[in-house]
Amino acid sequence: MIRHARRPYRLAKPCLAGYTRFEPRQPAHPCVEGFSNSMPYLSVVVPVYRSAPVLKELHRRLSAVLTDAKVTFEIIFVEDCGGDGSWDVVQALAQADDRVHGLRMSRNFGQQNALLAGVRAARGEVIATLDDDLQHPPEELPKLLAVFGQGHDVVYGWPERQQHGLLRNAASHVTKLVLQEAMGLENAVRISAFRVFSTRLREAFAEFRGPPVNLDILLTWGTRNVTGIPVRHDPRCHGRSGYDAAKLLSIAINLLTGFSAIPLRLASAMGVLFAAFGILLIAFVLLRLLITGYSVPGFPFLAASICLFSGVQLLTLGVLGEYVARIYLRSMNQPAYLVRETTPSKDRT
């Protein structure tokens, strides 16, 4: 059994770079030179869903690269009730390596909710997140840590080349455009689930419960010091992604109505536009009557006008209804997640 001494979690004390300074060690990985000068404790959070065959390889590669970089770390696997035996693998890894900690959700809450649970359970001064399917190569993590060490609060590793189909890539781009509007960041189209950020940012959403949950938006509640770098993006080595084009578009709609007032503004703009159109239409009817002595011919014109304006009214009511539904759901005070069990650990309470 691998046993490693841990330090109890503590908040970093402010200094020139914003993080606690420790005695420098001999850097072993060239990509973490800027990060290894301070060597904060790193928590790696991995949401797990139906990925039992690849978890051991993910653990092996993560441990190897971070050990080589001389980074003190923990790995938190959050199993989201995939039902494929992933939890058994997480338990075995935690028993063999005390740097591994596992959380098991009471039901399937979704990737973002699982991430939130892992982020709140993390004890390091810095948190890294990545997917469980090895599309985010652990060997690229030192690059993000090096850029983070330059003084950024959040660093994303966006893929140099997406390893998805054309329709999925297009839906993903639309979702990121929506995120850009909701986050208020110009470079939000280059965000990804491969990220490194300061643990202190979670104080900005400590009381957040949802729904919905989106970690990227929650991080912007605490900082605008966000950057990103291109990283390798490998093909998925097991199973199929649960995010098809339809689900990504549904997520985009939830983000718009859950974290943005854009739909309401669009509804207001449409109301002004069609009100102006109605005024012009009335002016046209009156002018035609004054000039020719005949009004606009009857039923087809009237029916088309009624259908047009009724459609706009129903669309606006639908947008308002979506926001009212969000208010209702939040008033129920439902938890964003519920942890059923955790892996045993001597130094965790």
Question: What whole-number distance in Å separates Cα of residue 326 and Cα of residue 293?
Answer: 52
Q: Where residue 19 falls among pLDDT bands split at 50, 70, 90?
A: very low
Is the model's pLDDT at 114 over the cut of 80?
A: yes
Question: Please, what is the average pLDDT of the chain?
Answer: 78
* Per-residue pLDDT tens over the stretch 242-270: 655 666 666 666 666 666 677 777 777 77
Question: What whole-number distance in Å separates Cα of residue 160 and Cα of residue 183?
Answer: 22
Is the model's pLDDT at 140 over the cut of 80?
A: yes
- Select the more confidently predicted residue: 273 or 176: 273
> What tokens does 309 get?
């304006």
242 in the same domain as 184: yes
Average pLDDT of the segment spanning 153-177: 70
Average pLDDT of the segment spanning 41-55: 95
User: Residue 78's closest CA among 109, 100, 105?
Assistant: 105
Q: How confident is the model at residue 9, as a pLDDT? A: 38
Q: How confident is the model at residue 195, as a pLDDT? A: 94
Average pLDDT of the segment spanning 10-16: 37
User: Residue 347's closest CA among 172, 101, 177?
Assistant: 101
Plot region of 322 (φ>0 → left; ψ -120 to 50 → alpha; else → beta): alpha
Average pLDDT of the segment spanning 54-69: 95
Q: What angle do CA 257, 111, 76 make, to 5 degrees?
A: 140
Range of the domain at 280: 262-331
Tell me 57's DSSP state. H
Please state the domain count of the chain.
2
Q: Where residue 13 falls among pLDDT bands split at 50, 70, 90?
A: very low
Residue 273 in any domain: the answer is yes
145 in the same domain as 68: yes
Average pLDDT of the segment spanning 51-71: 95
Looking at the chain, the whole-number percentage of residues with pLDDT higher than 70 is 70
CA atoms within 13 A on the CB side of 286: 6
216 in the same domain as 99: yes
Residue 3 in any domain: the answer is no
Q: How confident is the model at residue 109, as a pLDDT? A: 92
Q: Which of 192-196, 294-298, 309-313, 342-346 has the lowest mean pLDDT?
A: 294-298
Average pLDDT of the segment spanning 29-35: 57
Residue 90 in any domain: the answer is yes
212 in the same domain as 105: yes
Residue 13 in any domain: the answer is no
Most confident of 126-135, 159-168, 228-237: 126-135
